[in-house]
Amino acid sequence: MIRSELVQRIADENPHLYHRDVERIVNTIFEEIIRAMEAGNRVELRGFGAFSVKRRDARIGRNPRTGDAVSVEAKAVPFFKTGKQLRERLNGGSE
């Protein structure tokens, strides 16, 4: 499923909404999650999962082709942890 199919499924269920509004709603949801993480915040959507930011220390990396040492600066990376309910559903657990 891709973004446009998700929008379509929501639009089908909500015939009273304009398609472009459904698009804005879906975009806003994803945009807000990114915006929160940009600010270093966590987004917890209970049952679904939690988006958080993990910090990676600076390290000495290597160019895999030449073997040269290169310094990699400290950075923050997005992380997602699956929620309990979704994890159980994936394994045929409680629906």
Q: Does 49 bind another protein (CB under 8 A)?
A: yes
Rounded Cα–Cα distance for residues 31 and 62 (Å)? 34
Tokens 């929501």, residue? 10
User: Contact letters (x/-) for another protein, 1-40, by CB under 8 A?
Assistant: xxx--x--xx--xx--x---xx-xxx-xxxxxxx-xxxxx
Rounded Cα–Cα distance for residues 35 and 40 (Å)? 9
Residue 79: phi, psi to the nearest 5?
-140, 140
Q: Which residues bind another protein (CB under 8 A)?
A: 1-3, 6, 9-10, 13-14, 17, 21-22, 24-26, 28-34, 36-49, 53, 55, 75-78, 80, 82, 86-87, 89-91
